[in-house]
């Protein structure tokens, strides 16, 4: 089975712009979670989607949003970018039958200038 894929892998934006990141889960996985990784804060949970519905949400401002499509692919959007949004954005997919193991994608490295 192909692993979790994320596009694009690298992105450079300027403050005030918005960005959309994409995640394709492992085939058959219906849960997709998003995390922000920074050197200072580590890995922080953003949100989780299952069957096109947001099931869990972390403590991030409303500028961070996401959605999931019927084929389980997910996108996250960040509006009005700030310098502090520079980070590695990781998505992870899980099979909801059996364990909780989350399989991570390679991440999208976002740099905000």
Partner 1 sequence: GENVEQHPSTLSVQEGDSAVIKCTYSDSASNYFPWYKQELGKRPQLIIDIRSNVGEKKDQRIAVTLNKTAKHFSLHITETQPEDSAVYFCAATNSGYALNFGKGTSLLVTP
**Interface contacts to partner 1, rule CB under 8 A:** 31, 33, 35, 41-45, 48, 50, 55-56, 58-59, 90, 94, 99-107
**Three-state DSSP class for residue 84:** helix
CB of 59 to partner 1, least distance (A): 7
Cβ at position 80, least distance to partner 1 in Å? 25
CB of 14 to partner 1, least distance (A): 25
Lookup result for tokens 């401002």: 61
Residue 20 or 58 with smaller CB distance to partner 1: 58
Q: Which CB atom, from 16 or from 28, has the smaller least distance to partner 1?
A: 28
Phi/psi of residue 85, nearest 5 degrees: -85, -5
Report, in Å, the least distance between residue 56 CB and partner 1.
Answer: 4
CA distance 10 to 56: 26
Q: Which is nearer to partner 1, 78 or 108 (CB)?
A: 108
- In terms of CB distance, is 81 or 102 closer to partner 1? 102
CA-CA distance, 92 to 61, in Å (whole number)?
21
- Nearest CA to 46 out of 77, 79, 6 is that of 77
What is the per-residue burial (b if ≥16 Cβ within 10 Å, else e) of 69-82? eeebbbbbebeebe
């Amino acid at each position: 089975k192909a692993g979790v894929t994320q596009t694009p892998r690298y992105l450079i934006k300027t403050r005030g712009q918005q960005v959309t990141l994409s995640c394709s889960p492992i085939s058959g996985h219906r849960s997709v979670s998003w995390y922000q990784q920074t050197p200072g804060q580590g890995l922080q949970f953003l949100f989780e989607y299952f069957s096109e519905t947001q099931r869990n949400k972390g403590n991030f401002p409303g500028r961070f949003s996401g959605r999931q499509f019927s084929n389980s692919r997910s996108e996250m959007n960040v509006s009005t970018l700030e310098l502090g949004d520079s980070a590695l954005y990781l998505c992870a997919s899980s099979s909801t039958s059996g364990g909780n193991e989350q399989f991570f994608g390679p991440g999208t490295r976002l740099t905000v200038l």
